[in-house]
Amino acid sequence: MYEFISQGGAVMYILIATSLLSLTIIFERLWSLRSSVVIPVKKIKKVEEAVREGNAEQALELCKNSNTAMSRILWVALKNRGVKRSIMKEILEEVGRQEVAHLERFVGILALIAAIAPLLGLLGTVIGMIEVFQVISVEGVGKADVLASGISKALNTTAAGMSIAIPTLVAYRFFEAKINRYVVDIEQHALYFVDLLKGERE
């Protein structure tokens, strides 16, 4: 493995750094995008029950004690429960956009890594091929084993780049789809809660 890495030169070390960054983001997002951290259904139900019972202070306390995306949105709704329905919706849309931006944090970097990793791999291969042709210019084409070895080494970075790009792209698409589902769920819960506060739901 060390030989494989060292043969790739400086580009290979850059690829290793991008792979470590990708893995760090993937594990961080897996932890941060759990449903219990974004939309804790049981806690939301408790808040809704408190509102139905007319206990807004208890509902506020429940939201305050639950540091999740949905709880923060509901807390804002409760704080602004005296305003008109249309104004409340505008306020919640703004808060919702902030929460979605928080959910999307670092995910764009995965797309960037998936895009540049193959290019970095290709760059390493091009550099390696230049070195091979320099050897050819000195020793000629008579030594096939030397040329084969040089070309094999040059292709190491391309293989590494593709190995990084493919799982990173899969992770990016996975998180993108997950966030989109959360956005839909957040909108549904928020609209239901607005109706509940305005007495349009029982």
Q: What is the DSSP string of 147-200?
A: HHHHHHHHHHHHHHHHHHHHHHHHHHHHHHHHHHHHHHHHHHHHHHHHHHHTTS
**pLDDT interval class at 194 (50, 70, 90):** confident
DSSP summary character for residue 68: S
Whether 26 and 110 have beta carbons less than 8 Å apart is answered as yes
Return the sign of the alpha-carbon dihedral for residues 170, 171, 176, 181.
positive
Give 71-110 pLDDT, tens digit per residue.
999 999 888 888 888 888 888 889 999 999 999 999 999 9
CA 78 to chain centre: 30
Question: What average pLDDT score do residues 39-48 get?
Answer: 89
- Judged against a pLDDT cut of 90, whether residue 118 lies above it is answered with yes
- Tens of pLDDT, residue by residue over 144-171, are 565 666 677 778 889 999 999 999 999 9
Closest CA to 182 of 75, 103, 98: 103
Specify the 3-state DSSP secondary structure of 148. Answer: helix
Predicted TM-score (pTM) above 0.75 = yes
Max mean pLDDT among 117-126, 135-144, 161-170 falls in: 161-170
